[in-house]
Chain A
C-alpha cells in the first residue's frame, strides 16, 4: 500500500482571502514572523500496491480534472514516504 499526496494551491495571482485572514490573525496571537500566508488543500490518497509512474499519471489526470481547478489553482502530486 502506498499513500499519494496531492497539494492544491491557489495560483499566486488569485486573491486568497482565507490566507489573508489567517495572516491577520497570527500577529494578534503574538506570532509576528509571517509576512504573508496562503491557504491550500491537501488530499491524501491511499492505493493498493506500488505508486508506479502509471498510477501517478492517473492521479495527475484526476487532479487536473477534479481535485484542482486549473483556472485558479495549481497542484503537485507526490508519494508520501
Chain B
C-alpha cells in the first residue's frame, strides 16, 4: 500500500506525515509539487506548512501546482486525500472541500495541544474512531478559522460532513467550532489540527493521531 505525501516549496510537516504513514506499515511515497505523476499511490496526504510562502492566500497558489491537477482529478474519482492544516487550506482553495480558512479570530499564531471530538467515523480517514470520541492532538496555525456561508454550514451539519470539532475554548473562531470536514464521498478529509504530530507519546501529546492513518489502511485493505 502506497501513500503519497506531497512536498510543496514551504511544506513543513511532510516528514512527520511520511513517518506516520510508515508507522502504520504503509509505504510512503514522496510526491513533488512540480511533478504531475502520482507514482501509483493509493492515497495522498497534503501536509502542513506554508506552501509557496502562503502568498496571496493560504493554499491559493499551491492549488495550481502540477501535482495538484492530478490529485484533484483522482480525488474527484474517489482516491482518499487527507489535507492537514495547510493541506486543508489547499483542499478548500481547490474547491475539493467547501468553505475557506481565514485568520484566527484573535490574530495569534496558535501552537498548543487541542482536544477534539470526532463527529464522523464513516470517512476513509476516521473509521478507526468512535463517534463522540475525544482526542488530543497539536493545533498550530495562524489561519485556521473555518468560514463558509450559512447554506454551506447548514449542508455540512445536515449531511454529517463535519469530521471533528474543537472541544473547550474556541481556539480560532471557526464556525460551529469546526476543526475538520469531509466531502459527500467521505474520501477527502481536511483537518486543521495535526494527527501526524501525535503518533507517539514520546514526541507528541498522545498517540491519538494514529487513528487517521490506521483508518486509511483499514479502508484500503477492505477494498
- Specify which chain A residues have a CB less than 8 angstroms from the CB of B150 in the assembled complex: 13
State the 4 A-B residue pairs at the shortest beta-carbon distance, nearest first. Answer: A72-B100, A71-B100, A17-B105, A17-B103
Closest A residue by C-beta to B98: A71
Q: Which residues of B contact A14 (CB under 8 A)?
A: 102, 147
Q: Are B105 and A69 in contact (CB under 8 A)?
A: no
| Interface flag for A76 (CB, 8 Å) | no
User: B173–A17 contact, CB under 8 A?
Assistant: yes
CA A69 to CA B148, docked complex, whole Å: 12
Seen from chain A, the residues whose Cβ lies within 8 Å of a Cβ on chain B are 10-11, 13-15, 17-18, 21, 66-67, 69, 71-72
Kindly list chain A residues whose C-beta atoms are within 8 Å of the C-beta of B105. Answer: 15, 17
Using CB atoms and an 8 Å cutoff, list the residues of chain B in contact with chain A. Answer: 56-57, 60-61, 64, 92-93, 98-100, 102-107, 145, 147-150, 173
B117 to chain A, nearest CB (A): 22
Chain B: minimal CB distance from A62 (Å): 12
The residues of B that contact A69 with a CB separation of less than 8 Å are 57, 60, 93, 100
Cα separation A5 to B11 with both chains bound (whole Å): 32
Interface pair A21/B107, CB less than 8 Å apart: yes
**What residues of chain B lie closer than 8 Å to A13, measured between beta carbons?**
149-150
Q: With a CB–CB cut-off of 8 A, which chain A residues contact B92?
A: 71
CB-based contact B60/A15 at 8 Å: no
